[in-house]
Structure 1
Amino acid sequence: MIRRSILTGLAVLALSPAFAQGRKEPEVATTPKPLPTQTKDVVLTTPPVTPENTLNLDLSSGGRVSIQMRPDVAPLHVERIKTLVREKFYDGLVFHRVIEGFMAQGGDPTATGQGGSKLPDLKAEFNDLPHVRGAVAMARATSPDSANSQFYIVFQPVLKLDRNYTVWGRVFAGMDIVDAIERGEPPANPTKIVRASIGSDNVPPPAPSTPIPAAPAPAPVVPGTPQL
Structure 2
Amino acid sequence: MADDTLTLTLSSGGDVVIKLRPDVAPGHVERITSLANDGFYDGVVFHRVIPGFMAQGGDPTGTGYHGSKLPDLKAEFNAEPHVRGTCSMARSQNPDSANSQFFICFDDARFLDRQYTVWGQVESGMEYIDALPVGEPPADPGKILKATVG
**TM tier relative to shorter chain:** over 0.9
The structure carrying a bigger strand percent of its residues is 2
State the percentage of identical aligned residues: 65
1:22-50, Cα deviation, whole Å (9 max, x unpaired): xxxxxxxxxxxxxxxxxxxxxxxxxxxx6
SS at match of 1:62: coil
SS at match of 1:126: coil
CA RMSD across the alignment: 0.7
1:134 has 2:85 as partner: yes
- Structure 1: how far apart are the matches of 2:121 and 2:34? 18
Partner of 1:115: 66
**Deviation at 1:53?**
1.1
SS at match of 1:56: strand
Partner of 2:11: 60
Structure 2 residue ranges without an equivalent (≥5): none
- Structure 1: how far apart are the matches of 2:84 and 2:94? 25
**What does 1:65-214 align with in structure 2 at a 5 Å threshold?**
65-199=16-150
**Deviation at 1:51?**
2.3
Larger Rg: 1
Q: TM-score, normalised by structure 2?
A: 0.98
Q: TM-score, normalised by structure 1?
A: 0.65
CA contact (8 A) 2:12 2:129 kept: no
Structure 1 residue ranges without an equivalent (≥5): 1-49, 200-228
- Structure 2: how far apart are the matches of 1:83 and 1:196? 11
RCO comparison, higher one (Cα < 8 Å, 6+): 2
- Structure 2: how far apart are the matches of 1:198 and 1:100? 27
